[in-house]
Amino acid sequence: MTQRAKIDTDGPEPGSPVIDAGAELDPVHPVAPPVRHRPEGLTAAEVAERVARGEVNDVPVRSSRSAADIVRANVFTRFNAIIGVLWVIMLVVAPIQDSLFGFVILANTGIGIVQELRAKKTLDGLAVIGEAKPTVRRDGVAARLSTSEIVLGDCVELGPGDKVVVDGVVAEADSLEIDESLLTGEADPVVKKPGDQVMSGSFVVAGGGAFTATKVGREAYAAQLAEEASRFTLVHSELRSGISTILKYVTWMMVPTAIGLVISQLVVKDTDLKESVARTVGGIVPMVPEGLVLLTSVAFAIGVIRLGRKQCLVQELPAIEGLARVDVVCLDKTGTLTEGGMDVTELRMLNGCDETYVREVLGALGASDPRPNASLQAIVNAYPDSGWTCTQALPFSSARKYSGAAFQEPDGTSSWLLGAPDVLLPDGDPVLDAIEDLNAQGLRVLLLARVTAALDDPEVAATARAAALVVLEQRLRPDAADTLAYFADQKVAAKVISGDNAVSVGAVAAKLGMPGADRAVDARRLPAERAEMATALDEGAVFGRVTPRQKRDMVGALQSHGHTVAMTGDGVNDVLALKDADIGVSMGSGSEATKAVAQIVLLNNSFATLPSVVAEGRRVIGNITRVATLFLTKTVYSVLLAILVVCSQVEYPFLPRHLTLLSTLTIGVPAFFLALAPNKERAKPHFVRRVMRYAIPAGLVAAATTFTTYLLARTHYSGDGALAAETSVATLTLFLVSLWVLAIIARPYTWWRVGLVATMGLGFLVVLVVPWLQDFFALKLVGTTMPWAAVAIAALGAAVLELAWRWVSRKVPAADESRPPQEA
């Protein structure tokens, strides 16, 4: 094996680099003495000294916000403040029955806090499992440590796929190539030599080495950029932003309506003050869709907990929603469709080479790389180390598709390349014909070739002379076929994008039953222009010989055609595409770089977990659309009733207790169950438009029928108990219309949905017939004429509502074609 370049530390020899581990620290902190790189790393005493000085990598936890932030976000909200003030007023002027809405808000807030804290615990636990664990040398021993245990001056080893977790200076380099694109935007890897700086957030694409940490914790470059951006957040999602937009408009409607209602009830009407205050509050409280934000948070939180049980780490919570909107998923073959391990099945000699000699060459090649990839590991397992001295190594790169090494053999020297045959051999070479047959069987083929040029010569491949073909068999993931079938059933287009030979990739995809696998495309023949590439990608399903930069371009091309793209992968060649995709999904066994940029990490390395993530996202979006329609129907009819009351100069028909009962039976309880029910329909865009399209007609019908019943009752009843009787029949009409809205939202019906609607109806009936509940909620139907009139008006309203619902569904623009929320 080649000797890595080192920095001598045994004395102040001329030209020996000295790494000042504290020179660029914040001047407020004490500056550490200069630290020379030592191959054996720091001693235990030196580590303890640095920990005592606070020179540790105390980076913030990526996955979650603090418990205090969760409590603050759930308690100190605009609507909680409004409800809180109204609750205090009601506790002073009215019976406890009219203050029930305040206790509901307390319960809702408590549920939200508990669920989010559970989600935080799940996220934090999974984040520890999936955390990067760099290899650090201390006291001459290399060990994997948590990133938070690294101290200033630590010697950190690097290998292909490793993420640079702190800033530092290169001390050892063995053909070390680092990709800094996540920091600089430049995709080309940078060759690093001893003395060069490395920045946290970059990652190794080829070679190996070690560096000495010069900046740790929040002083590190990437930590400064990512500390805020990587925190737990629910903000960046269409669902959350849509709800925020709705709440903003609701607030604008509430303020003038509430002012008018206050004036109407307290000034214009000459009624009892406490009664007027109670009815005024009764008009304001239902305008607030207080449970909508709660149920959205709970639905997301429960989604995180469910996925956490399946070893799925959601690093950015909106990724649950984002994957539900995906209509194209790009899959890297190796590590996704196939397992990481491979087996050598055949060694085929070329050009009369001696098999014994070739086996020795392969053994030496395997031993020359301290961190072999899956292909080379199969060779290591098959051929023992021949003991040759490696004088130069060329690590594997996804861009060039080959690796190499030069050896001092017992009888001389030789240089070899191992890589893709169609890259190392010229077009038309007869060997390629034989390889096509092997690729068609789904086998992976590597070419061993001897070269005469230096390994660092850009044209070294042109001097290659074929010596042997190494045939590898890939292990298919047992769950890959079912997962691909799931995506096909859900109308999510799957695109296999691999750096391997296109025919071989197509054969693997065909074994898994993937449509279009028989038309594999060599990515080297794809058009470079984005629009033309997007068209080719829409037509094809399997693509081989894709370079890392092409993967990124392909994701961008698909997005330019309006697709929402998810990208899965586990290797460093997938990082750029993962970063640019709408949703990046990494395997838990993947490189640290891929796990760092992915929004979702499958810690159990199971591709079959993806349908669960999709299902959770669809459940959240589809069900929140349902319950949002319920909540906003209440807001619409509450605002309209208040306006009608102000214009008509009559008493507001309801006390808070009436609307608390209605909200509980027609919104609160059913919404909780509907929000957590299974839902498989792919998410549609324009959340606000789709919800309001159904909430406004429903609110209009509910307000019109309720106020009509109220006005009729005012002409029918007279005497001291007239207002209570009028309120009771108006409540009956509003409940029946609201129950029909719930019945529409609950479609398509299942046994439990029918049972849910029936139970809510039965609950209201119990209140009407049990004497003490009649007294508690001030609901008592007087006579038979008006109660049956209320039922008839409600039935008419339900019929109008059904017609309006169907009419609105037919008027959905073609660009936003989707079924109504009950079917979404």
pLDDT tens-digit map of 257-278: 777 777 777 665 555 667 667 7
Query: Residue 184 — pLDDT band, cuts 50, 70, 90?
Result: low
Section 121-147 average pLDDT: 77
* pLDDT score recorded for residue 627: 84
Q: Among 29-43, 456-470, 548-562, 706-720, which is the least confidently predicted range? A: 29-43
For 437-483, how does the pLDDT look when each residue is reduced to its tens digit (9 = 90+)? Answer: 788 777 888 999 998 888 888 888 888 888 899 988 877 888 888 88
Section 222-230 average pLDDT: 48
Averaged pLDDT score across all residues of the chain: 79
Section 684-700 average pLDDT: 84
* pLDDT score recorded for residue 9: 34
For residues 475 and 508, give the distance between their C-alpha atoms in angstroms, rounded to a whole number.
10
- Helices assigned H by DSSP within 130-198: 181-184
For residues 655 and 282, give the distance between their C-alpha atoms in angstroms, rounded to a whole number.
5
The letter for the amino acid at 279 is: R
Strands (E), 240-369: 312-314, 328-331, 338-349
Residue ranges of the chain that CATH labels 1.20.1110.10: 237-305+616-823
* pLDDT score recorded for residue 235: 34
| Crossing angle between the packed helical segments 273-284 and 238-263, to the nearest 10 degrees | 160
For residues 76 and 78, give the distance between their C-alpha atoms in angstroms, rounded to a whole number.
7
For residues 518 and 493, give the distance between their C-alpha atoms in angstroms, rounded to a whole number.
16
For residues 448 and 63, give the distance between their C-alpha atoms in angstroms, rounded to a whole number.
45
* pLDDT score recorded for residue 179: 78
> Can you read off the two tokens belonging to residue 240?
């959350």
Query: Residue 682 — pLDDT band, cuts 50, 70, 90?
Result: low
Of the residues 179, 332, 369, 580, only one is catalytic, namely 332
Q: What percent of the chain has pLDDT over 70?
A: 84
Q: Among 8-22, 238-252, 582-596, 605-619, which is the least confidently predicted range? A: 8-22
Residue ranges of the chain that CATH labels 3.40.1110.10: 341-476
Instruction: Name the percent of the chain in helix, strand, coil, to the closest 5.
Output: 55, 15, 30
> Can you read off the two tokens belonging to residue 371?
């961190």
Query: Residue 237 — pLDDT band, cuts 50, 70, 90?
Result: low
pLDDT higher than 90, residue 799: yes
pLDDT higher than 70, residue 230: no
Section 207-226 average pLDDT: 75
Section 295-319 average pLDDT: 77
Q: Is 332 a catalytic residue?
A: yes
* pLDDT score recorded for residue 30: 36
3-state secondary structure of 33: coil
pLDDT higher than 60, residue 432: yes
> Can you read off the two tokens belonging to residue 702?
């509910």
HSE on the CB side for 8, CA within 13 Å?
7
* pLDDT score recorded for residue 557: 92
- Centre a 10 Å sphere on the Cβ of residue 332 and count the other Cβ atoms it contains: 27
Q: What is 312-337+477-605's CATH topology?
A: Rossmann fold (3.40.50)
* pLDDT score recorded for residue 700: 93
Strand partners, 334: 338
For residues 214 and 579, give the distance between their C-alpha atoms in angstroms, rounded to a whole number.
27
Residue ranges of the chain that CATH labels 3.40.50.1000: 312-337+477-605
For residues 527 and 530, give the distance between their C-alpha atoms in angstroms, rounded to a whole number.
8
> Can you read off the two tokens belonging to residue 245?
């937009």
Q: What is 341-476's CATH topology?
A: Calcium-transporting ATPase, cytoplasmic domain N (3.40.1110)
Contact indicator for 163, 182 with CB cutoff of 8 Å = no
The fourth-level CATH superfamily of domain 237-305+616-823 is Calcium-transporting ATPase, transmembrane domain (1.20.1110.10)
Which one, of 652, 740, 658, 659, lies nearest residue 701 by Cα? Answer: 740
Distance of CA 370 to the CA centre of its chain: 34
Higher per-residue pLDDT: 384 or 131? 384
> Can you read off the two tokens belonging to residue 345?
């099945």
How far are the Cα atoms of 141, 155, 166 from residue 170, in angstroms, in the given order?
Answer: 19, 10, 12
For 75-131, how does the pLDDT look when each residue is reduced to its tens digit (9 = 90+)? Answer: 877 777 777 777 787 777 777 776 776 777 777 778 778 777 777 777 666 666 556
Contact indicator for 142, 78 with CB cutoff of 8 Å = no
> Can you read off the two tokens belonging to residue 228?
């805020």
pTM above 0.75, yes or no: no
pLDDT higher than 80, residue 49: yes
> Can you read off the two tokens belonging to residue 129?
């499992």
* pLDDT score recorded for residue 823: 36
Which one, of 573, 575, 542, 698, lies nearest residue 628 by Cα? Answer: 698
* pLDDT score recorded for residue 31: 39
pLDDT higher than 90, residue 371: no
pLDDT higher than 60, residue 279: yes
Strand partners, 446: 470
3-state secondary structure of 386: coil
* pLDDT score recorded for residue 36: 62
How far are the Cα atoms of 235, 242, 508, 597, 816 from residue 238, in angstroms, in the given order?
Answer: 9, 6, 37, 21, 15
Q: What percent of the chain has pLDDT over 90?
A: 11
Q: Among 240-249, 598-607, 720-729, which is the least confidently predicted range? A: 240-249
pLDDT higher than 70, residue 5: no
pLDDT higher than 50, residue 14: no
**In which residue are the tokens 């609307």 written?**
659
